[in-house]
């Protein structure tokens, strides 16, 4: 019999759940197409047939369909919209309510003040027409600069259960977060789980690629794996076993630069329009009380050509030179384009 032991989290450690999730714990989306009605002349207009046809079909259930076409030719209070709802990664039960997002797909100018007419929501799969929820309600505009997109708080009611399944064929899969996914992290995670769970027995965990680690659930835990899974996800290992990949993440909108790991750059000289560095040099007759200011338009990083300069050194130079955020970002991008930045550079919105 394999002994399963869980250690208490030591100081300076990360938990399994800090860097990974259980496969099966994914959020899902359901969607549909519907009509937002009650708009104050900002809808699609009577000439937009993709909106008018479903409106005519809907009204035709209650009035004479032969009179509908003429009556709708000048309608501007209706908009055709896509409707989506995101479901919790932990699953949902019948009767749960979730938020809904609606987006105009026609020439409507605004959805402000409109109400979504009840619409069924389905899975985004062509092989099923199963209805998972019905959505309706008043549309709220979050961004006044983008009034053709809105939300309906708690606007969808689930009509069936969607349960998560974590154990498949007696094993679970830990999916490592994208920012941590690498062979060293996957291997260390699997090794640490084996050292804690079965130090004297056959290994239960195995890294199958840089992002996924499989763990065999002990036979006696499979009928009720909740205790095993809950303890596994809070199991910890030292931060020192977490190699951090050198990365630079830039948000150009906010001017934010985030670095992880040891980001290095090759020796480089930087010159940018408008960037001036003022330094002091002694006058021909050395006199510390009368320095001579000298202006340069070049920044030399690692001037001794020894290599190993860090991007953090450059950021520190930027701070001293009072270089603004946009110039910093442009310089870092130029260094990366030249092949001198030794890290993964990415941009977020």
Q: Averaged over 20-32, what is the pLDDT?
A: 91
Give alpha helix (H) positions in the chain.
Answer: 16-19, 49-59, 68-71, 183-197, 226-234, 311-321, 325-337
Residue of 105, 108, 86, 106 lying closest to 97 (CA atoms): 86
Place of tokens 């800090």: 18
- Model pLDDT for residues 270-289, shown as the tens digit of each residue: 776 666 544 444 545 555 56
Confidence band for 54, pLDDT divided at 50, 70 and 90: confident
Looking at every residue in the chain, the average pLDDT score rounds to 80
Q: Averaged over 337-342, what is the pLDDT?
A: 85
Residue 5, pLDDT > 50, answer no
Residue with more model confidence, 125 or 226: 226
The pLDDT value recorded for residue 197 is 87
The pLDDT value recorded for residue 131 is 92
Confidence band for 290, pLDDT divided at 50, 70 and 90: low
Q: What's CA 220's distance to the chain center, in Å?
A: 37
Q: What's CA 223's distance to the chain center, in Å?
A: 34
Strands, E assignment, 105-166: 115-122, 131-138, 149-158
Backbone phi, psi, residue 155, to 5°: -85, -10
Coil vs helix vs strand at 11: coil
Q: Averaged over 185-190, what is the pLDDT?
A: 92
**Burial of residue 24, with CB atoms counted within 10 A of its CB: 0-12 exposed, 13-18 middle, 19 or more buried:** middle
Confidence band for 213, pLDDT divided at 50, 70 and 90: very high
CA dist 71 to 64, 65, 74, 120, Å?
11, 10, 7, 26
Residue 24, pLDDT > 70, answer yes
Q: Averaged over 319-334, what is the pLDDT?
A: 82
Confidence band for 297, pLDDT divided at 50, 70 and 90: very low
Confidence band for 73, pLDDT divided at 50, 70 and 90: low
Residue 293, pLDDT > 60, answer no
- Model pLDDT for residues 99-113, shown as the tens digit of each residue: 999 999 888 999 999
The pLDDT value recorded for residue 278 is 45
The pLDDT value recorded for residue 301 is 52
Q: Averaged over 60-78, what is the pLDDT?
A: 59
- Model pLDDT for residues 129-144, shown as the tens digit of each residue: 789 999 999 999 999 9
Q: Averaged over 255-271, what is the pLDDT?
A: 77
Residue of 193, 191, 206 lying closest to 232 (CA atoms): 193
| CA distance linking residue 293 with residue 108, whole number of Å | 62
Confidence band for 79, pLDDT divided at 50, 70 and 90: confident
This prediction has a pTM of: 0.63
Which residues touch 333 (CB under 8 Å, ≥6 apart)? 250, 345
């Amino acid at each position: 019999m394999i002994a399963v032991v869980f250690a208490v989290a030591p100081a300076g450690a990360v938990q399994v759940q800090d860097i990974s999730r259980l496969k099966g714990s994914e959020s899902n989306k359901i969607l549909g197409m519907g009509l937002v009605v009650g708009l104050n002349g900002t809808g699609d207009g009577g000439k937009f047939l993709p909106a008018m046809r479903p409106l005519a079909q809907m009204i035709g259930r209650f009035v004479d369909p032969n009179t509908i076409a003429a009556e709708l030719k000048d309608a501007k209070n209706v908009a055709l919209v896509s409707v989506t709802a995101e479901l919790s990664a932990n699953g949902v039960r019948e009767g749960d309510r979730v938020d809904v997002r609606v987006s105009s797909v026609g020439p409507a100018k605004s959805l402000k003040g409109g109400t979504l007419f009840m619409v069924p929501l389905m899975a985004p799969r062509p092989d099923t027409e199963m209805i998972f929820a019905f959505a309706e309600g008043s549309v709220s505009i979050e961004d006044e600069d983008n009034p053709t997109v809105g939300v309906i708080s708690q606007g969808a009611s689930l009509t069936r259960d969607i349960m998560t399944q974590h154990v498949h064929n007696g094993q679970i899969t830990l999916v490592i977060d994208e920012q941590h996914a690498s062979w060293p992290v996957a291997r260390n995670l699997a090794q640490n789980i084996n050292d804690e769970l079965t130090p004297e027995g056959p290994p239960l965990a195995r890294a199958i690629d840089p992002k996924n680690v499989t763990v065999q659930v002990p036979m006696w835990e499979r009928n009720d794996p909740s205790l095993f899974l809950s303890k596994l996800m809070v199991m910890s290992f030292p931060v020192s076993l977490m190699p951090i990949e050198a990365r630079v993440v830039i948000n150009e909108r906010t001017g934010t630069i985030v670095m992880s790991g040891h980001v290095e750059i090759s020796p480089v000289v930087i010159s940018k329009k408008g960037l001036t560095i003022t330094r002091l040099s002694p006058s021909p007759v050395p006199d510390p009380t009368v320095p001579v200011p000298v202006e340069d338009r070049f920044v030399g990083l690692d001037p001794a050509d020894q290599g190993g300069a860090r991007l953090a050194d450059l950021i520190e130079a930027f701070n001293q030179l009072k270089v603004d955020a946009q110039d910093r970002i442009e310089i870092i991008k130029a260094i990366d384009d030249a092949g001198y930045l030794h890290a993964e550079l990415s941009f977020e919105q």
